[in-house]
Amino acid sequence: PKDLAGERVLVTAGPTREELDPVRYLSNHSSGKMGYAIARAARRRGARVTLVTGPVCLAEPFGVETISVVSAAEMREAVVSRFAAASIVIKAAAVADFRPEARAGSKIKKSAGETVLRLARTGDILAEIGRLKNGQFIAGFAAETDDLGGNAVKKLKEKNLDMIVANDVTREGAGFAVDTNIVTMIFSDGRIEDMPLMDKETLADTILDRIAAMRRQSPNLASG
């Protein structure tokens, strides 16, 4: 179905990298597969799609405007600058929560004593666009290792989201870099939907099914 025709969908995917020195960086295990699947599915369903992606080893989706970034700061700039033009935002990227307080200009050499790494918080992109929201539908993701429901509901409320897709990355088939996922979808109206194990392509369409239905029920939300 072309049920997303007229929508402008902004999707984020993949990890970010926060450089320690010219050789090393902090990152995470995100492969970008979920976000890329959502971008492809949204385009098939008629939306104009922009994908902001961290460093991944995936082919650029056909027909999708793709913006490549590396750091959390670069992802924030790309998302915030495009947010006003979007009608649906799906934040599937695993953005680093911390960055080195200072980047070393040369390789940090191994020494006999302990090395202490001081970290600073990165900007919270999801919270920022939640504050800026003006009719957009915002869906976030929560990758958790404990108290899945509690942590996801807290994130949904604190960041002014319409929907959050939560998964326990310790479960087999639900972690990073695999082609399947097991998620719980939690909505701002209090509904909770537990999904079985499914491949990420199918899950992408399932997520978009729920978003499209909510958009039809709330015509006051901004449309592209």
Q: Find residue 163's DSSP bridge partners.
A: 139, 187
| Residue 162, φ and ψ in degrees, nearest 5 | -95, -20
| Residue 214, φ and ψ in degrees, nearest 5 | -70, -35
| Residue 130, φ and ψ in degrees, nearest 5 | -60, -40
Look-up of token digits 């899950």? 203
DSSP for 80-139 reads HHHHTT-SEEEE--B--SEEESS--SSPPPP-SS-----EEEPP-HHHHHHHH-SS-EEE
Does 151 participate in catalysis according to the annotation? no
- The catalytic residue positions are 28
